[in-house]
A and B are shown apart, each in its own frame.
Chain A
Amino acid sequence: MSRKLTTIAASLLTATLLASGCSTGDGDGGDGVIDYWLWDSAQQPGYQRCADRFQEENPELKVRITQYGWDDYWSKLTAGFIADQGPDVFTNHLGKYAQFVDLNVLVPLNDLEATSDLDADEFADGLAAIWQGQDGLQYGAPKDWDTIAYFYNTDLTDEAGITAEQLADMEWNPDDGGTFEQIIAHLTVDQNGVRGDEPGFDKDNVALYGLASEGGGGGNFGQTQWGAYVYSMPDWTLLDQNPWGTHFNMDDPGFQKTIEWYFGLAEKGYMPSMSDVSTNSGEYQQVAAGNAVLGMNGSWMTSLHASLPDFNLGIAPTPVGPSGHRASPFNGLADSVSRFSDDPESAAKWVAFMASDECQSLIGEAGVVFPARQSGMDAALAAKEEAGIDVSAFTVHLEEGTTVMQPVTSNGADITALTEPAFDAIYIGSSPASSLTDLNEQVNRLLELTTD
């Protein structure tokens, strides 16, 4: 009796352990279901339309789209790779994909039939090349791109007597900030109603900041913080080469001077200080709540700003810098196929479809992002025009060739673990901008160790 009980108990336990330890996916192996993950809820309807169209053309396949918020997305993806589960295809990010290449969890698109003939020239400038690994293989099919500009409420600029033309013609320099700093100073209002450029301005009690803040920016190389400024300095690049840079140039005095000037705006009271920006309050919250006027953010945020109630949206381009031109960090998402996909060939078909004119036009019509293909771009511009939103502040960078691709290096997570606190410390004021020289050495040592 008791022996029987033990046997039953033991076998039950073993069975449970085996079941929980060794299951692969929820039975989607070979049944024609392609699991697709994305993080932007605003884009899910567009991709659902693509999926519907894809299923019409490939009746034997079914696409299941799952959306997770940004933070959950990456931890779930990580867990999925570890557990040999997760999506077949997922939206990939420049800041993350190098690590996935290092970990060997992506299938090169060249190895899959449907995506083997992906033509880099069909996508906007440089978007395909950035997704090439150091081995020359393609790890992502470009889906969209983004640049940076300032969102603002025209009611607030009108009140300050600042015109759209003035905002479009701003210039900055790291010495006195140029017309850009003059404008944000004028847009800043303290609690007594005194503007930032008027005598008696109380910088410790500001009611309305001229410039919103997205934090220190160390985690994303200043994409929505200081990137537009440092990239419009003459003769300076963040990396020796991009993608797959081996050496950062954050020890450059010009770079450090610009960073010092940028975070100095908080000290002058024109931008919220680090302690005023809690973890859950970024540009969008500050501008939406009417606490800041100019809010630097990416083109993917356009429709969110446009849908704010009682908000007359204006969009101004980044200012012209000492190099004589504007600049904007340039970023593009792509779709990647997971190494753990049960059916990588079918997954590649879906990737190829998302990178096609057909799907990208649908995405363009959905009007959330700028698709990577020209046909999609045309659809997106038409959609924006119909909605009455002037997006030229974003597209000007493509026309003038003033985009700078977001950095791609190996060991991305280890590097941002160093850069994030370092830039926060400068923002807080506990370290000077010259501390970036030390940071630069640490980061470069890390890259040297891994590229050998």
Chain B
Amino acid sequence: MTSSEASTGRLARPGRNIGDLKLAMVMIAPALVGFLVFLLWPTLRGIWLSFTDFNLLTEPTFVGLNNYIRMFGDPVFWNAAWVTIQYVVINIGVQTVMALLIAVLMQRLTRSTFVRSIVLTPYLVSNVVAALIFMWILDTQLGVGNQILGWMGIDAIPFLSQESTVIPTIALINVWRHMGYTALLIFAGLQTIPETVYEAGRVDGASEWSMFWRITMPLLRPILALVLIMTVIGSFQVFDTVAVTTAGGPVNSSRVLQLYIYDMAFGRFQFGYASALSVALLIILLIITVIQYRMTRAGETDLN
């Protein structure tokens, strides 16, 4: 041990090492302080608050597991969890397939920067603006969307005001907005696949279709896994689109978890219970991320 370390000369210049350490600490300090103040501390405090009764204006009082017991018996919470999962499945399912399709088309057909920019444009629109515009487009009385349906002889569909269509509609609005961005992430992943592999495929007479399934998909897996983990987490946190278009209605059909948490905290001042709901969301996300990570082996690559 000592001989090998001595031979690399690491122990020979201890002074320089410590000097680096100081500089490193200074460089890391802002990020570390930021992490402690804005991430770690709020998280720990949030978990602590979930065991209390707290309305923000008076001191929190410890109530043990009461908030969690209430949560397990709260039908609105279970409904919110179910609605959120429906949203995530539709949103991520459609979005990933569409994004993959666009990315592969960009990779295999055209590499024009112009096309790439166009694909990204919906992402430049803020969530709230996108939601507002779609709300007007889909309005049954004034919306151009329903007018177009009318020209095709289809009766107006109250997309955002009937229970059966509200979650798919909101999910698809967000697909529209995030599809291009996700496509670009996947496209970046595609760039890492060496062209030689495709050449080899072509030499062997493989079709585009089989090259997609046998070359692109396996080699893209780590990137796709990462994109999926990121988009699923983002998807679970859906709030603004719902808040703008339906505010959780009709009845509770679009009351997603984040909206319920927000309403509980800032509408009803029950910050303790809202914290417990947030902890539940955190646990759901942790579990899903671990499962995804394991299933997709996101840490490994097949490129070697």
**A residues apposed to B, CB below 8 Å:** 2, 5-6, 9-10, 13, 17, 75, 78-79, 81-82, 99, 103-105, 274-281, 289, 291, 413-414, 417, 421, 424-425, 428, 430
Query: Closest residue of chain B to A5, judged by CB?
Result: B26
Cβ–Cβ contact A278 & B135, under 8 A: yes
Q: Provided the pairs A279-B245, A279-B246 are in contact, do residues A99 and B162 lie with their beta carbons within 8 angstroms?
A: no
B63: CB under 8 A from chain A? no
Supply 26 A–B pairs (Cβ within 8 Å), ascending by A.
Answer: A2-B26, A6-B26, A6-B29, A13-B33, A17-B37, A79-B266, A103-B57, A105-B57, A274-B250, A275-B140, A275-B158, A275-B162, A277-B161, A278-B135, A278-B139, A278-B158, A279-B160, A281-B139, A281-B141, A289-B142, A291-B141, A413-B269, A421-B255, A424-B250, A428-B250, A430-B251
**B residues apposed to A, CB below 8 Å:** 22-23, 25-26, 29-30, 33, 37, 55-58, 135, 139-142, 158, 160-163, 245-247, 249-252, 255, 263, 266-270
Complex CA gap A81/B58 in Å reads 11
Cβ–Cβ contact A274 & B161, under 8 A: yes
Complex CA gap A449/B159 in Å reads 39
**A279 neighbours in B (Cβ, 8 Å):** 135, 160-161, 245-247, 249
**A417 neighbours in B (Cβ, 8 Å):** 263, 267-268
Cβ–Cβ contact B22 & A2, under 8 A: yes
**A2 neighbours in B (Cβ, 8 Å):** 22-23, 26
Q: Provided the pairs A278-B139, A278-B160 are in contact, do residues A421 and B249 lie with their beta carbons within 8 angstroms?
A: yes
The secondary structure that dominates the B interface is loop
Cβ–Cβ contact B56 & A82, under 8 A: yes
Query: Closest residue of chain B to A218, judged by CB?
Result: B251
Cβ–Cβ contact A428 & B37, under 8 A: no
**B22 neighbours in A (Cβ, 8 Å):** 2
**A289 neighbours in B (Cβ, 8 Å):** 141-142
Cβ–Cβ contact B140 & A276, under 8 A: yes
Complex CA gap A206/B246 in Å reads 24
Cβ–Cβ contact B266 & A75, under 8 A: yes
A275-B162, A278-B135, A421-B255 are known contacts; what are 15 more A-B pairs with Cβ within 8 Å?
A5-B26, A9-B26, A82-B56, A99-B269, A104-B58, A274-B161, A274-B250, A277-B161, A278-B140, A279-B161, A280-B139, A421-B249, A424-B251, A428-B250, A430-B163
Query: Closest residue of chain B to A291, judged by CB?
Result: B141
**A105 neighbours in B (Cβ, 8 Å):** 57
Cβ–Cβ contact A9 & B269, under 8 A: no
Within the complex, the shortest CB–CB distance from A97 to chain B, in Å, comes to 14
**A430 neighbours in B (Cβ, 8 Å):** 163, 251
**B139 neighbours in A (Cβ, 8 Å):** 278, 280-281
Within the complex, the shortest CB–CB distance from B252 to chain A, in Å, comes to 5
Complex CA gap A105/B57 in Å reads 8
Complex CA gap A81/B266 in Å reads 11
**A81 neighbours in B (Cβ, 8 Å):** 56-57
Complex CA gap A278/B58 in Å reads 38
Q: Provided the pairs A2-B22, A275-B158 are in contact, do residues A421 and B252 lie with their beta carbons within 8 angstroms?
A: yes
Complex CA gap A13/B31 in Å reads 12
Q: Provided the pairs A5-B26, A275-B140 are in contact, do residues A428 and B163 lie with their beta carbons within 8 angstroms?
A: yes
